[in-house]
């Protein structure tokens, strides 16, 4: 304003400081071919066993504001794959995933909060082995861009640590040294590409 008259500023675009551009509001479907859900457990106290779930589906509903977004994921428990058939069979039985009684693992978000730049806290409820517990995913948004098939993709990674006993997976073997054969925690690493629905 100058001398009591209004001045036009033109269009003002507000952008989040730092990090990648956020995906547009709407429905985005997770592309399992270009995504992964990996789990790591300590073994013998000195090394790690890595596994992945090969079958899963889900959707991300980006809200406006983005903090009102929702994530819903379903994982086929029997699709666990550690590259060892005998071990995978044991993981599917009642000592661990009990896939006959609990064929699906689900995650449903309950909240999303920015932590600065491209990092977010994604809170939700994980149902595993028939038990539902709150979990927090340390999420990093990687960006949005076109794909070769004419679509638009968004990418994000997330990590969390789960305690096996929270989901009644308490099977273990004690070694003569007193060290448990299998660690009490599981590290989960998620790498997701989601495709925007028209």
Q: Where are the domains of the chain?
A: 26-196
Taking only the tens place, the pLDDT of each residue in 7-27 is: 444 443 434 444 457 899 999
Which one, of 36, 51, 93, lies nearest residue 186 by Cα? 51
Q: Please give the share of the chain, as a percent, with pLDDT higher than 90.
A: 61
What does the block give as tokens for 170? 């308490």
Calpha distance 145→154 (Å, rounded): 7
Which one, of 159, 151, 147, lies nearest residue 36 by Cα? 159
Calpha distance 84→97 (Å, rounded): 16
Position 46 scores a pLDDT of 59
**pLDDT bucket at 182, cuts 50 / 70 / 90:** low
Taking only the tens place, the pLDDT of each residue in 36-57 is: 999 998 755 556 889 999 999 9
Report which DSSP code applies to 23.
Answer: P
**pLDDT bucket at 159, cuts 50 / 70 / 90:** very high
Planar angle of CA 126, 158, 194, nearest 5 degrees? 90
Which one, of 109, 84, 108, 102, lies nearest residue 169 by Cα? 102
Position 8 scores a pLDDT of 47
**The CATH number of domain 26-196 is 1.20.120.920:** no
Taking only the tens place, the pLDDT of each residue in 64-101 is: 999 999 999 999 999 999 999 998 998 898 888 899 99
Q: Give the residue-averaged pLDDT of 98-118.
A: 94
Position 5 scores a pLDDT of 52
**Surface-to-core class of residue 121, CB atoms within 10 Å of its CB (0-12 exposed, 13-18 middle, 19+ buried):** middle
- For the chain, the average pLDDT equals 84
Planar angle of CA 100, 103, 107, nearest 5 degrees? 150
Q: What is the CA radius of gyration of the chain?
A: 21
**Residues facing 60 on adjacent strands:** 28, 71
Alpha helices in the chain (DSSP H): 85-92
175 has a pLDDT exceeding 60: no
**SS3 state at 92:** helix
């Amino acid at each position: 304003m100058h001398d009591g008259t209004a001045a036009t500023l033109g269009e003002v675009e507000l952008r989040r400081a730092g990090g990648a551009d956020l995906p547009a509001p709407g429905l985005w479907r997770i592309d399992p071919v270009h995504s992964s859900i990996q789990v790591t457990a300590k073994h013998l106290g000195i090394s790690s066993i890595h596994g992945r779930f090969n079958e899963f589906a889900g959707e991300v509903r980006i809200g406006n504001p983005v903090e009102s977004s929702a994530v819903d994921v379903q994982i086929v428990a029997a699709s666990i794959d550690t590259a060892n058939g005998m071990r995978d069979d044991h993981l599917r039985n009642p000592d661990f995933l009990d896939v006959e009684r609990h064929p699906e693992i689900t995650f449903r978000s309950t909240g999303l909060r920015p932590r600065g730049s491209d990092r977010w806290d994604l809170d939700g409820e994980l149902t595993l082995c028939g038990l539902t517990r709150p979990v927090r995913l340390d999420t990093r948004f990687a960006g949005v861009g076109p794909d070769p098939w004419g679509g638009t993709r968004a990418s994000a990674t997330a990590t969390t640590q789960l305690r096996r006993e929270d989901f009644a997976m308490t099977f273990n073997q004690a070694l003569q040294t007193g060290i448990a054969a299998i660690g009490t925690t599981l590290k989960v690493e998620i790498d997701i590409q989601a495709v925007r629905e028209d």
